[in-house]
């Protein structure tokens, strides 16, 4: 199952979907150039949970992934990596405009 997170949509069908939407909404509030975030995750039967995030921005896409013992821990780790990548993109974008 994959999840598409868009601006101002926090309701989910299950715990993980709601957690992912709630966790990723902060990026929409802080960075207006983000259009959507796609969440891909490996199934429950695999011992290591993997979460991949695809961020669609104006003119660019970013990809990050992280592993964890549970999906919610993996999405937390991916979210921190995403923050780093977005800040790099933002600095590059605004330095280029100057």
State pLDDT tens for residues 41-88. Answer: 876 787 888 999 999 988 889 999 999 988 889 999 999 999 999 998
What is the domain partition of the chain in residue ranges? 2-97
Question: Is the distance from CB of 83 to CB of 68 less than 8 angstroms?
Answer: no
pTM of the complete model: 0.83
| 72 contact partners, CB below 8 Å, separation of at least 6 | 16, 19
| 96 contact partners, CB below 8 Å, separation of at least 6 | none
Token pair belonging to 69:
């013992």
Helices (H), 4-97: 15-30, 71-97
CATH of domain 2-97: 3.30.160.100
Question: Is the distance from CB of 2 to CB of 71 less than 8 angstroms?
Answer: no
């Amino acid at each position: 199952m994959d999840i598409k997170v868009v601006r101002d949509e926090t309701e989910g069908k299950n715990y993980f979907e709601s957690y992912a939407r709630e966790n990723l909404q902060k990026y929409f509030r802080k960075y207006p150039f983000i259009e959507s975030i796609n969440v891909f995750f490996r199934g429950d039967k695999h011992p290591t949970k993997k979460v991949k995030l695809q961020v669609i921005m104006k003119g660019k896409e970013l990809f990050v992934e992280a592993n964890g013992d549970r999906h919610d821990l993996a999405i937390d780790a991916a979210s921190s990596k995403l923050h780093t990548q977005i800040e790099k993109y933002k600095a590059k974008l605004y330095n280029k405009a100057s």
